[in-house]
Structure 1
Amino acid sequence: MSQTFKDILYTVSENAVHITINRPEVYNAFRTQTVEELIQAFRMADEEKTVNCVIFGGAGDKAFCTGGDQKVHLSDDGLYGPRGMVGLPIEELQSAIRDCRKVVIARVQGYAIGGGHVFATICDLTLAADTAQFGQMGPKVGSADPGFGTAYLARIVGEKKAREIWFLCRRYTAQQALEMGLVNKVVPKDELDAECELWAAEINALSPTALALSKRSFNADSENIRGISFMGVAAVKGFYQTEESKEGVRAFNEKRKPDFKKYAS
């Protein structure tokens, strides 16, 4: 299965499919095209017979992914027009990661913020460099992830910590993420690729069917969150049309503090 991508890189090594967001100039923030290509890539990886693992990462040294590209927020940004409830099929991508029969490892070398934080959350495993930073910023820019980014996060780190992450929008170090259960292991930055390959090699020696069945079993226990997500995204679609939400995007792009209160109903 061959495919030419613009926003991502797709390669297959001895032990894993490597899917990498290749937009380091914007800290690997995603636009519609990025999301569409990632959906295609995870579906391709699902059919790859030679390996049991996907290593999902971001290009460059600075970021795994920093969420949606606010400069093209809800716009037609090129090859792909708006699709999905909020203009890009983010819920479809989240499902593609969860539904992929391969074990998906998030390789986090830098910022995993906003939508990137959600990606790291829903991957099966997360390996981080000691330079990684995690956090949410949805409420800072008039956005939210009502589903896997919230309800599933609470299953991983606990209800109180998940609410802290969303209600305060703080940054957390790799070590703090490890302590709260968001990360499986932290290593020095120059050892991250080797560690990812080590984990992938161990996974690649196992039964692909047994791994797929195990993953499906884990997912079944939290499958109701997919329904919450689809309903929640419908609400977010309406919210994005309000001046309160638009103020968050304007303020981010203008590098100023937003004034949400004057628009709140």
Structure 2
Amino acid sequence: MSDIVVERRGEVEWIRLNRPERMNAYDADMAEALIHAVNEAADAGVIVLTGEGRAFCAGGYLADLSDPDPAALRKMFYGSLQVYDALRMSPRPVIAAVNGSAAGGGNELVVACDMAIAAESATFGQTGVRVGSAPVLGGSNFLAMSVGEKRAKEIAFMCRRYPAGEALEMGLVNAVVPDDRLEEEVTRWADELLRMSPRYLEIAKINSNVWWNQCRDNYLSGLGMLVQAIGSADMIEGATAFMEKRAPRFEGRARKDST
């Protein structure tokens, strides 16, 4: 099975995450394949990113956190930033067609795309601090540009799930449509973009990255902290609890000396 399925529909490149058995969660190899697909789509007019099955993307593959290989995790963490950078630096507009759950790094994937159209059944939210990680690549910083600082902190800290309608109200997506109309609506938006000047769309897109670029040092700082925390008790407990579908029992909080 290919991790990434690419389909050219006229001048629109559809890139589909294709690991439905794990809700399209990505590992380092899948991240590399996605970067390659985005870069190869530079000759398209519009890029659409979507998922196979019932999920858009569940972020990084959490099984790797419960028994961490530091070198492999480092590669995945920094590979995630390279994925988001590829989306941001592509000369073509990128539309997220959110067909289902966008969780953790999958929610940050939506944040990194230029625009997002969601199916009514789609849900959004971060998972990091619940599973032994933190959303340092958009969820704890750049997301505030879309939804405001207080709401962004709520999303990053509380790890709640937000239905598509609420995501639209807070500014996380551009439109919400019935599930069976998602591809039709995304195609309509793509066709409208195709009527624009590709040269000046590229200028407008790259110039719009001003706040993303301002945050980039913060992304690297956050990644450095995540790498230093690989193998921590909270990481292992959070990921293990997630895989075992139980509440985590974190011990990372400082406790007052009882003496």
Tell whether the structures are fold-level matches, with TM greater than 0.5.
Answer: yes
**Please, which of 199, 204, 225 is the counterpart of residue 209 of structure 1?**
199
CA distance, structure 2, for counterparts of residue 90 and residue 202 of structure 1:
30
Q: Which residue of 2 aligns with 1:28?
A: 24
Structure 2 Cα separation of the partners of residues 147 and 189 of structure 1: 28
Counterpart in the other structure of 1:176: 166
For the Cα contact (< 8 Å) 2:68–2:230, is it kept in 1?
no
Gaps spanning 5+ residues in structure 2: where?
Answer: 255-259
1:105 deviation in Å?
0.2
Q: Aligned partner of 1:6: which letter?
A: S
Distance 2:110 2:117 in 1: 9
State whether structure 2 residue 91 is matched by structure 1 residue 70: no
Superposition map of 1:38-117 within 5 A: 38-46=34-42, 48=43, 51-60=44-53, 62-73=54-65, 82=72, 84=74, 89-117=79-107
Q: Secondary structure at the match of 1:82?
A: helix
CA deviation string 1:190-230 (max 9, x = no partner): 00000011111111121111011001111024312111101
**How far apart are the structure 2 equivalents of 1:227 and 1:151?**
11
* Aligned equivalents of 2:230, 2:148: Cα separation in 1: 28
User: Of residues 14, 17, 36 in structure 1, which corresponds to 2:13?
Assistant: 17
What is the deviation of 1:245? 1.3
- Secondary structure of the structure 1 residue equivalent to 2:94: strand
Contact preservation (8 Å) 2:126, 2:139: no
Deviations 1:96-125 (A, max 9, x none): 111111100000111011110000011000
Q: More displaced, 170-179 or 237-246?
A: 237-246
2:184 is the counterpart of 1:194 = yes
In structure 1, stretches of 5+ residues that fail to align are none
Superposition deviation, residue 17 in structure 1: 0.8
Alpha-carbon offset, residue 31 of structure 1: 1.4
TM-score by length of 2: 0.92
SS in 1 for 2:116: strand
Q: Give 1:250 shift.
A: 1.3
Preserved CA contact (<8 Å) 1:56 1:107:
yes
Amino acid at match of 1:113: A
Q: Is the 8 A contact 1:35 1:88 kept in 2?
A: no
Instruction: Provide the residue aligned with 1:150 in structure 2.
Output: 140
RMSD: 1.8
Offset of residue 243 of structure 1: 1.3
- Of 201, 209, 219, which residue of structure 2 is paired with 1:219? 209
Pair 1:125 & 2:109 matched: no
State how far apart, in whole Å, the 2-side matches of 1:66 and 1:228 are.
Answer: 23
Residues paired across the two proteins, number: 252
CA contact (8 A) 2:50 2:96 kept: yes
Amino acid of the structure 2 residue aligned with 1:203 = L
Deviation at 1:181, TM superposition (A): 0.4
State the one-letter code of the partner of 1:13.
R
TM-score (norm 1): 0.90
Q: Which moved further from structure 2: 67-76 or 110-119?
A: 67-76
CA–CA distance in structure 2, aligned partners of residues 259 and 129 of structure 1: 34
